Structure 1
Amino acid sequence: MFDSKPSLDKTAISQLFTQARSQNGWRRQRVSDETLHALWDILKFGPTSANCSPGRFVFITSDAAKQKLRPALSGGNLDKTMSAPVCAIIAWDPAFYDKLPVLFPHTDARPWFTGSESVAHETAFRNGTLMGGYLMLAARALGLDVGPMSGFDVGMVEEAFLVERGWKANFLCNIGYGDPEKLFDRLPRLRFDEACAIL
């Protein structure tokens, strides 16, 4: 028999979920490149189908890169993104399967995806989105705050930051140290019986 793993304590669960908040404003505290590397070194271990790992991340930190991003942002996301230490573009790689010989070496998995554009697209988008979720949890685990966003022009973001790599944009996520004075009141959540079923 295997021993069960212990549950995380309430402090850890609070930091990751129950007391964590999506941020609307940021303290003037830099996020180091070393922290962004540590973030990747945690999130990359989150599970994906056939270890396909199609998520790709562009961390916008410089003033020049933020100005390049500015025209793509909706009005409601502009100020909080310009003031955030980091804005991450959560993207996905349509040609993720080219990495499978390294990531999934025990069988030739490329034909599972190269034979169907729709299967490849669905796999890349779904698993890339999962990796975006892992990024947010990893950031919170490192003591950072996050603010995920839609509300941007996908085509402009891809043209400015992703087209040379062949990647596609999914969503944006500001990262840094949140300003509690800029938080809204916590919104309600659904009850178990409204969102779940046990069969």
Structure 2
Amino acid sequence: MNAPVPDTVDAARAKAQQDVRDLRKRIDRLSDNAIDLILRDARSHYAWTDKPVSDALLHEIFEITINGATSMNTLPARFVFVKTPEGKDRLARSLKPQNVGKMMGAPVTAIIAHDLDFWTHLPKLFPHDDRRHLFDGNPDYVADTAYRNGTLQGAYFMIAARAVGLDVGAMSGFSNAVVDEEFFAGKTLKSNFLCNIGYADETALFQKLPRFAFDDVCTFA
């Protein structure tokens, strides 16, 4: 790995700092409507209309997601967009019976996975300091870092999908072992969770479940 050129690094840092200042001048917070759309009033969905989700929209969701923060810019998440009848049939083998209809009815189901070889890409993703030695020969640290940061990216993915007008329904009622055998055999990828994506049929919704109040779960130290 070539050492970064100091002048180039300094210029890049100065630009990054100015970009943040410019962003904060342009927009200092999201509107209440935007926050309602992505989190506060958003719902997990279980039924879907037949309106398709374009590949262009999936690309847009990815481009938003990939800019979310991960430790050391490791970016371990990998995404498989299951949309063909053949792919759906393969994925259905992993699901608990009550989840098969939810997945089959969705235009797209994303397998949110993580790559245990993510650290081999650090010369590209974290070029100013070679951190590969932290992971090489340390499988527990690799697995922990991949799972934590891949899960973060999965959450970014769900928020990004909502932000561009789609609905989502995450699922954990499936066999990771079956998914990994069916889609990742011989690879260094491990599945985390599934996420149905599309335009929801709201008639399947029930009332929103209770949430904790601030004082129930928050403290100061």
TM-score range, shorter chain: over 0.9
Give the gaps of 5 or more residues in structure 2.
1-20
Match of 2:164 in 1: 142
Amino acid at match of 2:174: F
Task: Choose the corresponding residue for 2:126, options 77, 84, 104.
Answer: 104
Amino acid at match of 2:146: A
Between the aligned partners of 1:175 and 1:162, the Cα distance in structure 2 is 21
Which deviations, in whole Å up to 9, do the C-alpha atoms of 1:73-130 show, x marking residues without a partner?
1012110100000110000001100111100001111111114211111101000000
Between the aligned partners of 2:186 and 2:111, the Cα distance in structure 1 is 15
Give the gaps of 5 or more residues in structure 1.
none
Q: Percent identity?
A: 46
Task: Choose the corresponding residue for 2:39, options 4, 7, 17.
Answer: 17
TM-score, normalised to structure 2, is 0.87
Match of 1:88 in 2: 110
Match of 1:43 in 2: 65
Between the aligned partners of 2:179 and 2:205, the Cα distance in structure 1 is 27
1:69 aligns with 2:91: yes
Which deviations, in whole Å up to 9, do the C-alpha atoms of 1:138-192 show, x marking residues without a partner?
0001100000010101111011112243200100000001111011210000111
Match of 1:183 in 2: 205
1:195 aligns with 2:217: yes
What SS class does the counterpart of residue 102 from structure 2 fall into?
A: helix
In the alignment of these two chains, the number of paired residues is 198
Larger Rg: 2
Please report how far the alpha carbon of residue 6 of structure 1 lies from its aligned counterpart in structure 2 after TM superposition. 1.4
Match of 1:151 in 2: 173
Amino acid at match of 1:47: A
What SS class does the counterpart of residue 165 from structure 1 fall into?
A: coil
